[in-house]
Amino acid sequence: MMLLSSAAVWLLLCVQCLHGSALPAMSSYEFTAYRMQQYNLAQQKHGCRGAIVVAEARSADEPSLTRRCVIMKVQDFTVEKYFEAVRQNAAAVLILLPQNISGVPHETIKAFMVSENEALQKETLTPVYVVPEDEQLLYMYEEVRQAAASRTSSMFVRVLRSMVTATAFQILVSNNSPIKAITDNTITTLEGVLAGTGEDAPTIVITAYYDSYGLAPWLSYGADSNGSGVTILLELARLFQKLYSTSATRPQSHDEASATANNAKLENITFQWMEQKFRGRERAKLFPKLTYFRKISSLTKRKHVLSVLMVLCGFAACYTPQVVSSRFPWVKVGLVHKKINLVESTVAWEHERYSLRRIQAFTLSHVEDPKSELRGSVLDTMSQVDFRKLKRNGIIIAEALARYMYNLSDKGSPRDIQVFKGQLDFQDSHMSSLMSFLTSVPRSAQLLDKEPGQILLVNSLEHEFKHHLQQVHRHTFRQDKRDPEITFFDQMNQPVVMYRVKPAAFDLFLGGCITAYLGIVYYSIQNFRHLYARLKAAVKTKHQ
C-alpha cells in the first residue's frame, strides 16, 4: 500500500511539472526575418550566401553549436561569438533587434556596430537573419537561455529537467527557391541648380547620398548615415533659394545641390553622373567654373562634430572655423588630410573622384575613417538623432558657405555676423518632418527601385528639389549586366516558422508515465478486494 501511494504521488508531481512548463504561446509561430546583406563588389563577396534553415534554436552560450540556429540579442552579438558560430558550422544565426533602440546603452550600440561591420566584411555560407523582438521571440530566447544554464547543473538534475520540463524550438525557413542576382538594379541621382548673377562664376556643388546600409537591407533606415546629410541638404536648398530669389541678395556663384544613391560603403556606384559632367558641352554648361565640391554626411553625433576630409580646400580651412569660433566655440573642427591611393580601384570618399580631376573637394562629417562602423548599421535609427546638434551643424555649414559666397571675410565684416536668422533660420519642425520622412522606410540601394514605399520616397525627394531649385534633373543609371560593378541578391526577407517541440527523451518519459499509470490501474483492479477491506478497516478505526 505504501509503495502504491508513493507511485501515485510521484506521478502527480510529474504531471504538475508538465503543467508548469506549458508555454503561454501557441504551438507554432510565424514571423518575418530579414536576411543579412549579400552582394558582390567586383570580385569580392560580402554577406551570407545561405537562406534555408531547419534547425533547433540554441543560445550563443552553448558549447556546441553545430547544426543549430544560434539565437542572439544585440548585447550578445560580438565578433567572437559570431565567428565561433560560423566556425562550428552553425545552421543559422538569428539576431533579435530591440523595438526601442533608444533604451539600449550607448556602449552596447557601439559594440554591436563594430561586430556588424566586421561580419559584413566577410563571406559566409551560414544564413544570418535579423528580426525585431516581440513577446513570442523573447519568450523563446529566455527558454533557450534557461536550457543552456541547466546544462551546467548536475547530471541527474539536468537529465530530469530535460526529460520533464525542457522545451525545444525548431526554426524553419522552407523557401527552396535558389538565391538569384538582381540584374536590373537602377540608381537615381537628383540634381538642381540655383543660378548666380555671374556668367563665368564658380559653381559650388553640395551633395549627400540618400541610400542607407546595414546588416539587413530591410532594416537599414540610416538616420545619421545619411538622413542627417539629406535633411541639411534640403534645408540649405530652402534657405539659399530665398537668397537667390531676389537680385539684391543673389550671389555671383552658382549653387548646385545633388542627392545620390551611392553610399560610400558600396564604393560609389553612380559616378556615371559625375563623368557626364566632364564631357565637353555638358561640363561647360553645368560647371562653367567648378571650384568647390563638398559632401555632407553623418552630422548628428559627437561634441567634436566636424571632421573635414580636405584636399586643397581653403574654404574649409578658413570659413568653417570662423563660424565655429564665433558662434559655437565649444565645438572643435578637425582637419583630416588623406592621401588618395591611386593603386586601389575604388575610392574611400566620394569627393576623391573630384580631387583626382584637380577640383578642390572635401567631405564634412563627424566620421573620420571612411570604413567606420558608424557609416552603416541597423541600429542607426531616428532615436539616435540629436536634433540640436543636427541644427547646429546645419547652421555652421550654411554660415560658412554664405561667408564664402558673399566674401564677407574680405569686406571686414564682423566675425559674429549672422546671415541665417529670423525668416532665414533653420526650422526645427521642418527638419524633424524631413528626418521622419527619410527614416520612414529602409533605403538600401537594393530596394530603391523595387518597392513602392522606396519609389515614393525618391519621387518625393524630386518634388522637394523642384520646390526649391531650378533646372532639376533626374538621372537614372543602369549597370552593365555583363560586367556590373556591384551585384545584389534577392531573398532579403523570408517567412520563418517557429515550432515548439519536446526533446526526444520526453517521449520515453511520457511512455514511462503512461506505463506507471496503467500499472497502478491494473494493480488496483486485481487487488480491489484487499484494497477495499483495508480502506474499510481504516475508516472504521478512524470513527472509533
Look up the pTM and report it: 0.82
As a whole number of angstroms, the distance between CA 172 and CA 27 comes to 14
Q: Where are the beta strands (DSSP E) in 104-167?
A: 123-124, 128-132
Q: pLDDT tens digits, residue range 447-466?
A: 999 899 999 999 999 999 99
Type of residue found at 5: S
b/e map 351-365, b = 16+ CB within 10 Å: bbbbbeeebbbbbbb
Q: Of 56, 78, 82, which Cα lies nearest the Cα of 69?
A: 56
- Sorting pLDDT into bands at 50, 70 and 90, what band is 203? confident
d(CA 35, CA 48): 8
Distance, in Å, from the CA atom of 202 to the CA atom of 253, rounded to the nearest integer, reads 5
pLDDT one-digit tens code per residue, 242-265: 999 998 889 988 888 888 876 655
Distance between CA 228 and CA 435 in Å, rounded? 7
Residue 336's pLDDT band (cuts 50, 70, 90): confident
Q: And the C-alpha cell for 73?
A: 540579442
pLDDT on residue 361: 75
What amino acid is encoded at 507 in this protein? D
Nearest to 40 by CA among 448, 516, 483: 483
pLDDT digits (tens, 9 = 90+) for 385-436: 889 989 998 998 898 888 888 888 655 667 778 889 888 999 999 999 999 9
| Angle at the Cα of 174 from the Cα atoms of 173 and 176, rounded to 5 degrees | 125
Q: 231, 432 in Cβ contact below 8 A?
A: no
- What is the pLDDT, as a whole number, of residue 508? 74
Binned at pLDDT 50, 70 and 90, residue 437 comes out as very high
- C-alpha 168 chain-centroid distance: 30
Is the per-residue pLDDT at 317 higher than 60?
no
Mark 481-490 as b/e (b = at least 16 C-beta within 10 Å). eeebbbbbbb
CB 365 within 8 A of CB 302: no
Q: How many CB atoms are located within 10 Å of the residue 529 CB?
A: 8
Residue 116: pLDDT over 80: yes
What DSSP designation does 110 have? H
Phi, psi of 31 (to 5 degrees): -145, 170
Give the sign of the dihedral formed by CA 383, CA 384, CA 389, CA 393.
negative
Question: Could you tell me the residue ranges of all domains in the chain?
Answer: 21-180+492-502, 186-478
Flag whether pLDDT at 26 surpasses 50. yes
The contacts of residue 33 (CB under 8 Å, 6+ apart) are: 94, 129, 130, 131, 173, 493, 494, 496
Rg over CA atoms, the chain: 32
Amino acid letter, residue 353: R
Contact 257, 277 (CB under 8 A): no
Task: Say whether domain 186-478 belongs to CATH 3.40.50.
Answer: no
Chain Cα centroid distance, residue 81: 19
